[in-house]
Amino acid sequence: MTLSEQDAKKFFEIAAPLLLWVKKRNRKSKAVSKQAWKDKYFDARGARDIWNAIWERPELLERYLKQKGDALPEETKRVLSDWRGNFVPGPFIVTRYLEEGAVFISSQDGRVYLVSGITSPIEESLAAKDLPCQVKTSLIPFQGRVIYDSIMEAEPGVVVSTAAQTLNQVYQDAKRDGNLIRRLPSDVPPPDGERWRGVVQTLTSLREKEETAHSEEFLRQALNAPDVHILSERDLSVLTKMLKKPHRSEEDWDVVKDILLDADLFTIEPPRSNKARAVEGVLYEDGTLMAFTSLQKCQAYIRKLSGEQGTERYYINVISCETLFEIAEKKKAQLVIDKPENPFQMFFVYDSQTKRLGASVMIPRLKP
């Protein structure tokens, strides 16, 4: 089952301006090549990155509505508000195709959804995949149906036979009990019991292995994108030399600012469940925002966080230094650049109150 031609057109008329607006503001989207965005069109990889940003930070939808609200039709505002409050994040397992839609089972909680295609049936998108298969996407309400956000990625890996049998039983139970979800929002409770937890454990193991490999490849592509400007070894050497100076003149600071403001820096976004926080994709720790001039320094700090908090999976974002300054000013926080691991080492700091770049030294905390 698919949307009508008129409804499919309406979906893209709503989605395309939203994605382009978010693309311009999203810190992670710097990894998408400028060539991928022309006029009002976007490629699948670019759109997936932007949808991910929206579902990770749905407040972007609220900001879009506030900024564009006066120019948007009432129906568009209603649809966007509906997405804001009622989206269902993936991943999912597609188990079968029915006349009224494809059966998606949430790999997070086991709820069962009947999902319509947008312009073509979902089985055409997954024609080369044996069922059941795992997919990355998010589900959203539209015109009284459950659809996906237009981009769906099938994950490699085979669902083992024992898990496939259990998934079929989950579907049969939902069908028998009237718990197939055809509209959002839904008050259908998730299934429970040891059976579902075993399926989740199997699928999570497969997914994490794939996501680790994907993240490394994505980062490699991101750093080679034409609109990403990583500091050169020469620039890093100059910054190190400036930090070691006992006194820095105004000319020295002009050199430092010229180097930094023309570059993209690295920062860290912890998972939501982690104790560490992020503000607009920037690590926020002990009341300060944190960024790093090199990938090596960023990865070293991730290892430190992982050791302290027992979490291994962190996201690395690449953000322009100018944007980092703007975020610091909006948050009214200091931005620390290259926080050292050892005490009595110098580092750069941007004071958002005075809007000045300076240098500071790492002082160890004294135990009471």
As a whole number of angstroms, the distance between CA 24 and CA 10 comes to 22
Tell me what the mean pLDDT of segment 337-359 comes to.
Answer: 89
Please return the burial class of 195, using the count of CB atoms within 10 Å of its CB with bins 0-12, 13-18 and 19+: middle
- Of residues 304, 346, 354, the one with CA closest to residue 325: 354
In the chain, % of residues over pLDDT 90: 43
CB-based contact 284:269 (threshold 8 Å): no
Asked if residue 166 lies in contact with residue 198, where contact means CB atoms within 8 angstroms, the answer is yes
Looking at the chain, the whole-number percentage of residues with pLDDT higher than 70 is 77
pLDDT digits (tens, 9 = 90+) for 258-282: 999 999 999 988 876 556 788 888 9
Burial 199-224 (b: 16+ CB within 10 A, else e): bbebbeebbeeeeeeeeeebbeebee
**pLDDT recorded at residue 350:** 94
Q: Which residues contact 355 (CB under 8 A, 6 or more apart)?
A: 325, 329
CA distance 294 to 338: 9
The rounded distance, in Å, linking the Cα atoms of 132 and 150 is: 20
Among 89-93, 140-144, 220-224, 302-306, which is the least confidently predicted range?
Answer: 220-224
Distance CA 279, CA 120 (A): 38
Q: What's residue 40's pLDDT?
A: 41
What is the spatial order of strands in the sheet that 180-181 belongs to? 153-154, 133-136, 92-98, 101-106, 112-115, 180-181
- Tell me how far apart the alpha carbons of residues 104 and 94 are, in angstroms, rounded to a whole number: 5
Q: Report which of residues 216 and 338 the model is more confident about.
A: 338
pLDDT value at residue 132:
84
